[in-house]
């Protein structure tokens, strides 16, 4: 994907004001020719952005677009008075993957717990089980949070459950009602995926554990990207939710900090019951698949460690592991 920076980013930022702006004015402001402006506009269109071009009026974005902005983000976060953490935000126009960026910084030992990386687009967005995560420019939220947990890798096992609850909390705050959770960490609305979570770990069994918590939340997925998604999906736009993106990031961060603080104190001992209330497959016949083996059973819910419990031949068994996929048996 083309990188968005320099004059291209300046042109896009000018278009975000939502009015027609002429190629001549843009060119004069940036000290470039109208032809160079037209070239930048074309490459923005190539990224999937729809831009009207009208003779004598100039260019205008077909859909309003609000961009992530470091200052607005920090202000929105600061204004949420009951926040309990000290998050710091890094905003990128494009990046390979917000998770990869934090993983690189872990290896360079250059990070504070609570660092958030967000981007308008990812050129190599990653999903669970080695899948690609469609990340077109400006359309969705690509978010990663770095958390340092002092107690070793084993304690980190249930974190993705707490993160799913945090995303649910955030969605409730912004007005979504019918959100359900699919083990281990998909966020569903009426069976369609609205958000996904990818938690990556680095650490020793006994030493501190570095966690990168990646969240992809669909806001207004363009049809060009949606054609490449092989599962049923939805976005906030289709759910009639319109929220300013910086406020969304700030709200999500506060929700995440609250759930992580609760996890650090008591693991899932309280939260697993809440998760079970939101379980999308409660009481359903489901199939668990590792790629090599599959198990079927009635979905009971999760246990205190975050494993999924299946009733099989009258017995309840728990299964753990990030690479297991789950689906309803039809
Ligand atoms: C899933 O497969 O459901 C997990 C998707 C996680 C996507 C997010 S987008 C932000 C972060 N960066 C990535 O490369 N992946 C995660």
Six token digits for residue 6: 């320099």
User: Has this prediction a pTM greater than 0.75?
Assistant: yes
Average pLDDT, stretch 124-150? Answer: 93
Identify the residue whose C-alpha is closest to ligand 1 atom 15. Answer: 126
pLDDT for the residue 297 = 92
Burial class (CB in 10 A: 0-12, 13-18, 19+), 268: buried
**Distance, CA 198 to ligand 1 centroid (Å)?**
5
182 Cβ closer than 6 Å to some ligand 1 atom: no
Give residue-wise pLDDT tens across range 239-260.
999 999 999 999 999 999 999 9
pLDDT for the residue 210 = 94
pLDDT for the residue 204 = 79
Q: Is the pLDDT of residue 308 over 80?
A: yes
Spatial CB neighbours of 124, under 8 Å, sequence gap ≥ 6: 96, 97, 100
pLDDT for the residue 231 = 81
pLDDT for the residue 83 = 57
Q: Hey, which of 44-48, 125-129, 140-144 has the most confident mean pLDDT? A: 140-144
Give residue-wise pLDDT tens across range 195-223.
999 999 998 778 889 999 999 999 988 77
| Neighbour tally for 246: CB within 10 Å | 23
233 Cβ closer than 6 Å to some ligand 1 atom: no
C-alpha torsion 225→227→231→236, nearest 10: 50
pLDDT for the residue 1 = 42
pLDDT for the residue 221 = 83
Average pLDDT, stretch 159-168? Answer: 97
Residue 178, CB half-sphere, CA atoms under 13 Å: how many?
Answer: 9
C-alpha pair distances (Å), 187 with each of 25, 68, 89, 205, 309: 44, 23, 24, 29, 19
Give residue-wise pLDDT tens across range 73-94.
999 999 996 655 689 999 998 8
Q: How confident is the model at residue 66 (pLDDT cuts 50, 70, 90)?
A: confident
pLDDT for the residue 102 = 97
Q: Is the pLDDT of residue 330 over 80?
A: no
**Distance, CA 63 to ligand 1 centroid (Å)?**
25
Specify the ligand 1 atom closest to the Cα of 96. 14
- Residues labelled as active-site residues: 128, 193, 327
97 Cβ closer than 6 Å to some ligand 1 atom: yes
Q: How confident is the model at residue 2 (pLDDT cuts 50, 70, 90)?
A: very low
Q: Is 211 helix (H, G, I), strand (E, B) or coil?
A: strand
């Amino acid at each position: 994907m083309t990188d968005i920076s320099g004059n291209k980013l300046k042109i896009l930022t000018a278009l975000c004001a939502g009015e027609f702006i002429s190629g001549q004015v843009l060119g004069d402001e940036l000290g470039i020719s109208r032809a160079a402006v037209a070239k930048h506009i074309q490459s923005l269109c190539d990224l999937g952005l729809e831009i009207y071009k009208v003779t004598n009026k100039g260019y205008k974005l077909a859909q309003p677009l609000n961009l992530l902005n470091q200052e607005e983000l920090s202000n929105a976060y600061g204004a949420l008075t009951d926040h309990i953490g000290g998050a710091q935000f890094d905003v990128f126009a494009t990046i390979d993957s917000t998770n990869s960026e934090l993983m690189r910084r872990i290896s360079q030992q250059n990070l504070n717990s609570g660092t958030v990386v967000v981007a308008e687009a990812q050129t190599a967005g990653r999903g669970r089980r080695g899948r690609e995560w469609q990340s077109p420019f400006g359309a969705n939220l690509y978010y990663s949070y770095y958390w340092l947990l002092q107690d070793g890798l084993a304690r980190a096992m249930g974190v993705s459950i707490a993160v799913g609850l945090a995303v649910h909390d955030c969605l409730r705050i912004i007005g979504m009602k019918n959100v359900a959770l699919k083990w281990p960490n998909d966020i569903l609305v009426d069976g369609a995926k609205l958000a996904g979570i990818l938690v990556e770990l680095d650490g020793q069994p006994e030493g501190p554990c570095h966690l990168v918590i990646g969240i992809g939340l669909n806001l207004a997925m363009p049809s060009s990207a949606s054609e490449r998604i092989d599962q049923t999906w939805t976005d906030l736009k289709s759910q009639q939710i319109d929220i300013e993106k910086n406020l969304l990031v700030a709200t999500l961060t506060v929700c995440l900090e609250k759930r992580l603080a609760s996890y650090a104190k008591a693991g899932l001992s309280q939260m697993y019951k809440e998760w079970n209330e939101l379980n999308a497959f409660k009481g359903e016949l489901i199939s668990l698949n590792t790629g090599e083996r599959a198990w079927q059973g009635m979905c009971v819910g999760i246990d205190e460690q975050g494993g999924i419990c299946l009733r099989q031949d009258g017995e309840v068994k728990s299964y753990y592991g990030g690479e297991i996929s789950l689906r309803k048996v039809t």
